Amino acid sequence: MKSFKTCSTGVTITFVLFTCIILSCTTQSSNQMQNEIRYPHPAPDSIAQPFLTGLVSTDSIDFNSAFSPDGKSFYFTRSANNQSSIYVTQHDGRTWKSPVLAPALETEDSEADPAFGPKGRLYFISNRPKDNADTLGDYDIWFVSPQDDGGWSEPENLEAVNSDSSEFYIPFSKNGNLYFSSSRKGGFGAEDIYVSRLSNERYTAPENIGGTINSTYSEYDPCISANEDILVFTSSNRKDTFGGGDLYCSKITGPDKWLEPVNLGKGLNTETREYCAYFSPDSKYFFFSSQGDVKWLNSQFVKEEINRLCK
C-alpha cells in the first residue's frame, strides 16, 4: 500500500505540474493573442497603400497612426472645417469597426497626434487652454491615463515639456524618452525636434537634438525607433525636396550624434507632403500620412532603405 501511495502521489504531482505548464502556456498564448494586431488583408509590401480604406482613409483629411497597447484599437486624426479631432476604430475579433470620436477627447478644441506612452497613457496635442487665464491658443502636449473601469482620466497638461509656443507630434522610445517638435524660441529654424528624457518617472527639461538634424528649415513629426537608433522625420523646403514636405532619415552613431539626414526618396515622397511617420509596435509595418490618407507598407523595406542611405 505504501508503494502504491507513493506512486499515486508522484502521478498526482506530475499531473499537477503538467496542468500548470499547460495553463501557463495557454495564458502566454492568450496574452500574445491579446496583443496581436489584426492587420487588414491584403497587407502591402514595398509600395505604400491607404490603411483601412473607407474607415480610416476616407475622403476627409486623415492622418496620424497609433495602435493601443493591446493592439485592438487604432487612433488617428481627422480634420474638417479647420478643426482636428482624434478618432478610434476598434477590432471586435472579426473586423475593424466604424471609427468614433475618442472617449475623453470629445471637445470643441482641436486635438491631434495621438501616441501611447509609459503606463498605457494616451498622449495628444490640443489647443485647449491650460486654465482660465490661458489665451495663447498654442498647441500643448496633454495626456489621459487609463482607469480601472476601462475609461480615461481627465486630461492633464504635460507642463514639464510645454512652452509658450506650439508643441507637435509625440513618439516614445522603448525606455520612455519622449520626442516632439516645437516652434519655441532658441531653435535652429521654424520648427525643431526635441527630446525629453524619462528619469525617475518624470520628464526632464527638453533638449534640442542638435544642428545635424535641425536646420534653418522646418523639422517636425519625428519618428524614433524603439532603441533610439533610427530617426525618421519630415522637413520642408530643403534643396532636395520633392514636394511640400518630405520624409528624411538618420541613424545615430554615438551619444547624441546623428548622421546627416538623407531624403527617403521617391519611393515614399511625392509632390505633396509626407508626414506623421510611425513604426507599428511590433515593427512589422511603417505608417505615414500623405495626400489626405493614412498609408502603410512593410517596415523591412523602409529599414533596408535607411540602412542603404544612411552610411
Q: What is the pLDDT of residues 158-175, one digit of tens each?
A: 999 999 999 999 999 999
In the predicted structure, residue 194 carries a pLDDT above the cut 90? yes
Question: Cα–Cα distances in Å, from 168 out to 98, 113, 145, 199, 200?
Answer: 27, 7, 19, 22, 24
Average pLDDT over residues 243-270: 94
pLDDT-based confidence at residue 1 (cuts at 50, 70, 90): very low
State residue 254's pLDDT score: 84
| Average pLDDT of the segment spanning 1-25 | 40
What pLDDT does residue 14 have? 42
User: Cell 486635438, residue?
Assistant: 111
Sequence-distant (6+) residues with CB within 8 A of 58 are 78
- State the pLDDT at residue 22: 40
Which of the four pLDDT bands, split at 50, 70 and 90, describes residue 202? Answer: very high
106 pLDDT band (50/70/90 cuts)? confident
* Gap between the Cα atoms of 248 and 261, Å rounded: 6
Q: Is 125 left (phi over 0), alpha (psi -120 to 50) or beta?
A: beta
Residues whose CB is less than 8 angstroms from the CB of residue 185 and which lie 6 or more positions away in sequence, other chains included = 165
Q: Are 44 and 52 in contact (CB under 8 A)?
A: no
Average pLDDT of span 217-238? 96
Where residue 130 falls among pLDDT bands split at 50, 70, 90?
confident
Nearest to 63 by CA among 86, 90, 40: 86
At residue 199, does pLDDT exceed 50? yes
Q: Convert the chain into a string of H (helix), E (strand) and C (coil).
A: CHHHHHHHHHHHHHHHHHHHHHHHHHHHHHHHHHHCCCCCCCCCCCCCEECCECCCECCCEEEEEEECCCCCEEEEEEEECCEEEEEEEEECCCCECCCEECCCCCCCCCEEEEEECHHHCEEEEECCCCCCCCCCCCCEEEEECECCCCCECCCEECCCCCCCCCEECCCECCCCCEEEEECCCCCCCCCEEEEECEECCEECCCEECCCCCCCCCEEEEEEECCCCCEEEEEEECCCCCCCCEEEEEEEEEECCEECCCEECCCCCCCCCEEEEEEECCCCCEEEEEECCEEEEEEHHHHHHHHHHHCC
Give the pLDDT of residue 5. 36
Mean pLDDT of the chain, nearest integer: 89
Give the list of residues 6+ apart from residue 82 with CB closer than 8 angstroms, or none: none
* Residue 281 predicted with pLDDT over 60: yes
- Structural domains present in the chain: 36-309 (2.120.10.30)
Q: Is residue 64 scored above 60 in pLDDT?
A: yes
Q: Are 259 and 253 in contact (CB under 8 A)?
A: yes
Residue 8: the pLDDT is 41
Judged by average pLDDT, the poorest of 46-60, 128-142, 164-178 is 128-142
Mean pLDDT of 147-164: 95
Longest C-alpha distance within the chain, in Å? 90
How far apart CA 208 and CA 15 sit, in angstroms, is 59
Q: Given a cut of 90, is residue 7 above it in pLDDT?
A: no
